[in-house]
Structure 1
Amino acid sequence: MHNTEGSRPDPAKKFVGVQISPISFVDEGVDAVLDTLQDRVGANVLMLGTVSWLGLKSGRSISHELDGWPDHGVPEPYQMRGGAYFDPDPRYYRDTFMADYRSRDPEFTGKDVLKMVIPAAHARGMKVYVELMEPFFKYAGHGSAAAVEIPTLPQAMEVDLFGRLGGEPSTSNPGYRTWIHSMIEDQVRNHDLDGFMWCNERNSPLDTLIQGGCPGDFSAPARAEAESRGVNVEACRQALLRLYDFCQEAAAGKSFADGNLIAFLRVLLENPEALIWEKFWLERNKDLDRELYGLVKWCKPTLPFGLNIWNRNHFNILRRAQWPWAEQTRYADFVKPITYQHQAGEVWAKELGFFRKTVLRDFAPAEAQAALFHILGFDEAPWDAIVSAGMDPDTYVYGQCADALRGVEGKADVYMGIGVDAPRSRPDTAKMTADIAYRSVMATYRAGGHGVVLSPNYSSMRLTHLDGVARALTELGLK
């Protein structure tokens, strides 16, 4: 059961997590970091990024040029090469080409972050969860490593409509999928973890088309899987080509007699095989989440497994329909909706921009926002102020927490992902403050949430902003 609105949370069930990259423990020392998080902030759960090639997960601040350096840590760029920041056990990687993925960052020579952190955290009564996100490699806006030093990885890439290699590994590639399974089993079996959080941020074929991209995955393994499920792969590819042509023409400014939205729906209805491929892709994507849930539970039945839910799932009408909360409770013990409130206006503007380049090009931005806000249930700043204002914790965080609680129907805990200095990419994006942090935490518990996860990475958070979290926790009796 969730907290009754307005009631004080139970300190015995306190869950105040913080996502943190391995480099913070090297830069500041394990004891110093734990002292700060436990004593100053009031956190009791570490969400530790152990495997990544993304600076947002494994590095220092990726927006220091715009936001400046935080008031702790090392104020200089980190030449992250990425990989595993623990020592992989070779026994688990005999059936995958990705057996050698240990980070070669010189800062981590001879260091295993799980062995460094878990004993010290447990000695203080703090919990340690592993936190992972797919895509692991090249991801715009996430501080991707300059190169990924894994032999033959390019041969596992997705294949797009035109037969070209894509930018992400195919999750249907058996070697890549086995690596994900092996990497997670390795950590769960060999380390005294308290939980696991998984994030899946892949774009579906329709999503990719609307963004102006060329979708896949038409690699040999994906084709074989589709055919085994009775899907006519070539018919689907031809249908997606028709939609691709439309989206490219729309983005280039072509006028359609009945307007862009009607023209898009017409092409889609004339080529229903595109929806068959969308459904196949979506189910195969969800299969991975389900497989990982089952794997963790097989290894350690009582270990909590949760999903870190992309904010695009509540900003995008297609994704909102495709990822219902109730379904996700079948393979998650908890969910963490991402609500990086000060950054949310920028994220929303980008999302709306995708639609306005193609299917909603006939709408003025304010008109499109008003319609979509009504559909999605938002009550935020007007279009001309949404980026600079961000989204209000008292409406946005509260509303998303309430929505998630209704959706999970008591079958999963809801830990709200509270943005603390989430990276900005525009100078006009709202800046983080301690008051935003304070109100976000208070809104979570006022809505009945079970806890919070301070996100996306401690290495970029200002302690003066985290003081707002501490103030809220103190008032709530959780610190």
Structure 2
Amino acid sequence: MNKPKLDEKFVGIQVSPISFVDEGVDAVLDTLRDRVGVNVLMLGTVSWLGLKTGRSISHELDGWPDHGVPEPFQMKGGAYFQPNPAYYQGTFIKDFRSGDPQFDGKDILAMVIPEAHRRGMKVYIELMEPFFKYTGHGSTNTVDIPNLAQAMEIDVFGRLGAEPSTSHPGYRNWILSMIEDQVRSYDIDGVMWCNERNSPLDQLIQGLAPGDFSTHARREAMERGIDVEACRRACLNLYDFMQEAKAGKTFADGAFITFLRVLLDNPHALIWEKFWLERNKDLDRELYGLVKWCKPNLPFGLNVWNRNHFNIIRRAQWPWNEQTAYADWVKPITYQHQSGEVWAKELSFFQKTILSDFSPDESTAVLYRMLGLDEAPYASVVQRGMDPDTYVAGQCVDALRGVDGRAKVFMGIGIDAPRTRADQAKCTPDIAYRSVMATYRSGGHGIVLAPNYASMHLTNLDGVAKALTELGLKP
């Protein structure tokens, strides 16, 4: 193993604003720098998701960590910095400052940046779209933003969707304005952007009604010469097939062959998928360009959904080499102990629809081979999780091969990522240690500890510190 250079060290951690209120800015920074070896903070500045800006969301299963305040945070969400009104003239979302009483009069960036810089630590803002997600946990109908409902996606049946449409100019301009505001108004050191949207084909395979057929999306499609109504009819035909498959219907040629037949008979569904996908990627590209226009040397990186390497269709849609055109670095999400459950959930979508004729064991074996995974069989993958020496290392090699030297690779290492099942694998100091070692052994340029410091156990972070010490990255 070629040991990394200390002057190129990138050891990041995703951290919620609430940790600095609960524990104090000095205490958090000193712990992360001195005990763990962190030198980059990925600070959640705008979110309505407890996973991003709250305390632990899985404390009922995992217990409270050995730091912070051991009680639920009834967060309202919003911006944890002070938005400058001058940047929001082109959007209807103007007042989105967090209403959490713990942050009354507080600006998290103003609180953290000077103290972090004084310690030689960098501060990146960390943002994830969609900003409103998960029922009862940042869902759109609980977000206190006037007229948000008017910016929602519209599904194939003409009904209001669950997420804002990124084709709605007011919503899209808000995202652009919010990032420009932070880049220009604060002395930040970089931006990490995460895009976790389900495409129309994603939605169909999950048995959902696909979108986005909102007025603005339709207009954009027609401007590109797309027959929107033909696309809508094609999506309806695919939806009908998926509903039949989910209901357990037996098809003469099997579910998968029948799916291909319906898809080939309805090529406009793929036209709509491609249109949606390019508009989704356009947002990433626009943000990269915006950041570089404001501050050409400010790093912009992508926090890349693990579904992109667990789903054969998304794997084809999101090649690493393409992403290097609008990212200085990428962070593949590899939350090893959590990943068995994520895999099982992803597989379940296919099992209920296009792979319903195959057992989970059969599907897992074939998909593992296609995706380059060498992990526990389906029957035990939730309980065992995925092994850092194969999973983290393999995804690191995969990403490095894909970016081909045109972007850096910072591996997303799961430390106490939230569990949803009592029998699910738990994080341990050894898992943390081996994940870090696997990253650098594979040639990775750095790590990002995730998803949220507020839910991490210091004893597990000690495994990170042990690895960094052995690598010469923690004095």
What range is the shorter-chain TM-score in?
Answer: over 0.9
Q: For residues 230 and 26 of structure 2, what CA distance do their matches in structure 1 show?
A: 59
Counterpart among 128, 133, 136 of residue 131 in structure 2: 136
Q: Does structure 2 retain, via aligned residues, the 8 Å contact 1:54–1:145? A: no
Q: For residues 48 and 448 of structure 1, what CA distance do their matches in structure 2 show?
A: 26
Counterpart among 211, 218, 242 of residue 216 in structure 1: 211
Residue in 2 that maps onto 1:300: 295
Matches within 5 A, 1:231-246: 231-246=226-241
Write out per-residue CA displacement over residues 130-179 of structure 1, whole angstroms, 9 at most, x where no aligned residue: 00000101236966588200000010000000000000000000000000
**Equivalent AA in structure 2 for residue 428 of structure 1:** D
Matches within 5 A, 1:361-380: 361-380=356-375
Matches within 5 A, 1:430-469: 430-469=425-464
Q: For residues 140 and 325 of structure 1, what CA distance do their matches in structure 2 show?
A: 31
Residue in 2 that maps onto 1:3: none
Structure 1 residue matching 2:142: 3-state secondary structure: coil
- What TM-score results when the alignment is normalised by the length of structure 1? 0.98
1:92 equivalent to 2:87? Answer: yes
Structure 2 residue matching 1:86: 3-state secondary structure: coil
> CA, structure 1 residues 143+93, in 2 after alignment: closer, same or farther (shift >3 Å)?
closer
Q: Would you identify which runs of 4 or more consecutive aligned residues in structure 1 move more than 6 Å?
A: none
Write out per-residue CA displacement over residues 89-137 of structure 1, whole angstroms, 9 at most, x where no aligned residue: 0000011100000000000000000000000000000000000000101
**Equivalent AA in structure 2 for residue 242 of structure 1:** N
1:342 equivalent to 2:337? Answer: yes
Structure 2 residue matching 1:415: 3-state secondary structure: strand
Counterpart among 407, 412, 419 of residue 414 in structure 2: 419
- What TM-score results when the alignment is normalised by the length of structure 2? 0.99
Q: For residues 326 and 52 of structure 1, what CA distance do their matches in structure 2 show?
A: 29
Q: For residues 223 and 381 of structure 1, what CA distance do their matches in structure 2 show?
A: 44
Q: Does structure 1 retain, via aligned residues, the 8 Å contact 2:155–2:212? A: yes
1:178 equivalent to 2:173? Answer: yes
Structure 2 residue matching 1:225: 3-state secondary structure: helix
**Equivalent AA in structure 1 for residue 194 of structure 2:** C
1:234 deviates by 0.2
Residue in 2 that maps onto 1:13: 8
> CA, structure 1 residues 296+62, in 2 after alignment: closer, same or farther (shift >3 Å)?
same
Residue in 1 that maps onto 2:98: 103
1:31 equivalent to 2:26? Answer: yes
Residue in 2 that maps onto 1:157: 152
Q: For residues 309 and 277 of structure 1, what CA distance do their matches in structure 2 show?
A: 23
Residue in 1 that maps onto 2:225: 230
> CA, structure 1 residues 141+456, in 2 after alignment: closer, same or farther (shift >3 Å)?
farther
Residue in 1 that maps onto 2:63: 68
Q: For residues 372 and 454 of structure 1, what CA distance do their matches in structure 2 show?
A: 28
1:349 deviates by 0.3
Counterpart among 114, 122, 131 of residue 109 in structure 2: 114
Write out per-residue CA displacement over residues 162-208 of structure 1, whole angstroms, 9 at most, x where no aligned residue: 00000000000000000000000000000001000000000000111
Q: Does structure 1 retain, via aligned residues, the 8 Å contact 2:140–2:163? A: no
Q: For residues 39 and 226 of structure 2, what CA distance do their matches in structure 1 show?
A: 48
Percent same amino acid among aligned pairs? Answer: 76
Write out per-residue CA displacement over residues 320-356 of structure 1, whole angstroms, 9 at most, x where no aligned residue: 0000000000000000000000000000000000000
Counterpart among 39, 46, 65 of residue 41 in structure 2: 46
Residue in 1 that maps onto 2:256: 261
Give the RMSD, CA atoms, in angstroms.
Answer: 0.9
Q: For residues 382 and 154 of structure 1, what CA distance do their matches in structure 2 show?
A: 43
Structure 2 residue matching 1:46: 3-state secondary structure: strand
Counterpart among 375, 378, 389 of residue 384 in structure 2: 389
**Equivalent AA in structure 1 for residue 472 of structure 2:** G
Structure 1 residue matching 2:14: 3-state secondary structure: strand
Counterpart among 303, 309, 318 of residue 313 in structure 2: 318
Q: For residues 404 and 79 of structure 2, what CA distance do their matches in structure 1 show?
A: 36
**Equivalent AA in structure 1 for residue 117 of structure 2:** H
1:382 deviates by 1.0
Structure 1 residue matching 2:270: 3-state secondary structure: helix
Structure 2 residue matching 1:403: 3-state secondary structure: helix
Deviates more, 1:77-86 or 1:132-141: 132-141
Q: How many residues align?
A: 474
Q: For residues 287 and 231 of structure 1, what CA distance do their matches in structure 2 show?
A: 17
Q: Does structure 2 retain, via aligned residues, the 8 Å contact 1:343–1:424? A: yes
Q: For residues 57 and 202 of structure 1, what CA distance do their matches in structure 2 show?
A: 16
Q: Does structure 2 retain, via aligned residues, the 8 Å contact 1:380–1:395? A: yes
Q: For residues 144 and 314 of structure 1, what CA distance do their matches in structure 2 show?
A: 26
**Equivalent AA in structure 2 for residue 338 of structure 1:** I
User: Unaligned regions of 5+ residues in structure 1, if any?
Assistant: 1-5
Q: Does structure 2 retain, via aligned residues, the 8 Å contact 1:441–1:469? A: yes
**Equivalent AA in structure 2 for residue 215 of structure 1:** P
